[in-house]
Amino acid sequence: MSQQHPNRARLLISCRDKAGIVSAVSTFLHQHDANIVQSDQFSTDPQGGMFFMRIEFDLGTASPDFLRLKQEFHSLAAEMDLDWKMELAARKKRMAILVSKEDHCLLELLWRWRSGELQVDIPLIISNHPTNKQVVESYGIPFFHVPVTRETKQEAEQEAIQLLKQHDVDFIVLARYMQILSSTFVDSFPHRIINIHHSFLPAFIGANPYAKAFERGVKLIGATAHYVTDDLDEGPIIEQDVLRVNHRYSTQELRVAGRNVERIALARAVEWHTNDQVLVYGNKTVVF
């Protein structure tokens, strides 16, 4: 879409619901020769609830340049007390990936990136193990091995944070990165870290959830993609998916099926974040 419509932009808004928001925003865009091509909105409660809106629009030949348009929107946003973000659709976000040994989520993202399905730049990939170094570098992406031990965890996190900031990343994907991030790390990238985990949590916690699921004879397995917060695996959920299984599945077959669900759910969440389709409020999300 961004290549076909180089003048397309996206506007995300969240605020207390009140009359006139849609009219005011639409009028502003019309007055600046912008053409709305898609508009979605949602209210948690029309009587004083939260209002969310996502608009895609094309800049016209008489429109001011994008930076000036964005600057001029500040006045309306202040007047109506809007939390907002405006982005050019053509600007590729810079996505970093953190991974450990398992590669199924990593490879799904890399394949979608190389095929052009995922419109991002990937300036670096960081891992606490060297396992995936060769495959990452075969894609022409810099790979940084930052080992983590109990004694060096704080220093390793600081090294990773420094690398991420040096490469000016917009957001981070934990593609089965098997480390718990500290508050310092999470606070450095608020609502900009996406994680994937199996949906057996908290019922099947620990190192081998699929074995425990097999023992209980589960009929559904799934995965959850969410933003990372200080509350472990309890951040705002972006996407979930499930797959029906039965008594014929072995532990290994459950593990394979689970990996398939994980990589698909994570890829969807990353795509939606990349396309500015996700608005966070409290511990929930609105996904347009």
Reply yes or no: is the peptide bond before residue 202 cis, omega within 30 of 0: yes
For residue 233, indicate whether it is catalytic. yes
245, 233, 170: which is closest to 197 by C-alpha?
233
219, 288, 275, 280: which is closest to 89 by C-alpha?
275
- CA quadruple 169, 173, 179, 185: dihedral positive or negative? positive
The first and second tokens of residue 153, run together, are 């965890």
The first and second tokens of residue 111, run together, are 């394949």
Contact 250, 205 (CB under 8 A): no
**97-132 b/e with 16+ CB inside 10 Å = b?**
bbbbebbbbbbbbbebbeeeebbbbbbbbbbbeeeb
What is the identity of the amino acid at 193? Answer: I
- Residue from 40, 233, 241, 276 carrying the catalytic annotation: 233
Contact 257, 243 (CB under 8 A): yes
Establish how many alpha carbons lie within 13 A of residue 261's alpha carbon, considering only the half-sphere containing its beta carbon.
Answer: 22
The first and second tokens of residue 17, run together, are 């619901």
Residue 54: other Cβ atoms inside 10 A: 23
Establish how many alpha carbons lie within 13 A of residue 88's alpha carbon, considering only the half-sphere containing its beta carbon.
Answer: 15
- 191 sits in the region (left: phi over 0; alpha: psi -120 to 50; else beta) called left
Q: Annotated catalytic sites, by residue?
A: 233
